[in-house]
Amino acid sequence: MLKVSAVVVLFIAVLAGFAQTSAIKNFVSGGADLPKMENPRLVVKKGARTLSVFDGEKLVATYKIALGFSPVGDKAIEGDGKTPEGDFYIFTKNPNSSYFLSLGVSYPNKEDAKRGIDAGIISQEEHDEIFSAIDEMRMPPQKTALGGEIYIHGEGNSGDWTAGCVALENTDMKALFEAIPLKAPVSIQP
């Protein structure tokens, strides 16, 4: 009976090991290339400090990230150190970034513009310019009181050090930069 119990315990331990390996299988670091994707999209989970790459609904990879120096809550104004929350898209790819490589995130979005006009911190003209840019999937105005110049970029993920951007290790950023096209959706969640 003792041998059977030991075998059962060993079997359960082996299964648990496979389950754990399967659960972390999608964590990628060290610059592993990403596959060609039909419908790439990015999901940033601020609380977990992760950026996940999906092809449609299929999880392809997950990376560790750093955020703005004041990471809790949604970005409200220029200089608050917060990483924005909401739905965005990639509007530019910069191979000559000061932070290795970068993907421009379409902040501020329409929800940010509405909040800004309601709070009286942006003009009607700025509000309308943001709406127009989002409708056309181009770069929204970057120099309003809401802030701007939010990027996914390299230069490291240890500690929250950016001014509101999402930072990865350079090897991870290289893989992301090569695989993610313009207009790819980006969801940044609390």
Q: How many structural domains comprise the chain?
A: 1
pLDDT at 58 over 70: yes
- What's the whole-number mean pLDDT along residues 63-73? 97
Structural domain harbouring 78: 30-107+147-189
- What's the whole-number mean pLDDT along residues 49-70? 98
17: in domain? no
**Pair 131, 116: CB distance under 8 Å:** no
Confidence bin at 3 (pLDDT 50/70/90): low
pLDDT at 77 over 60: yes
Confidence bin at 55 (pLDDT 50/70/90): very high
- pLDDT tens-digit series, residues 16-54: 444 433 333 356 655 689 999 999 999 999 999 999 999
52: in domain? yes
67: in domain? yes
3: in domain? no
Residue 31: per-residue pLDDT = 64
72: in domain? yes
pLDDT at 9 over 60: no
131: in domain? no
Residue 67: per-residue pLDDT = 98
Reported pTM: 0.85
**Pair 140, 127: CB distance under 8 Å:** no
- The mean pLDDT of the chain is 89
- Cis check for the bond before 108: say yes or no (omega within 30 of 0): yes
81: in domain? yes
Confidence bin at 1 (pLDDT 50/70/90): low
Identify the CATH number of the domain in which residue 34 sits: 2.40.440.10
Residue 56: per-residue pLDDT = 98
CA 10, chain centre distance (Å): 39
- pLDDT tens-digit series, residues 100-132: 999 999 999 999 999 999 999 999 999 999 999
Residue from 147, 149, 162, 163 nearest 66 by CA: 162
79: in domain? yes
Q: Where are the beta strands (DSSP E) in 26-134?
A: 40-45, 50-55, 58-64, 86-94, 102-105
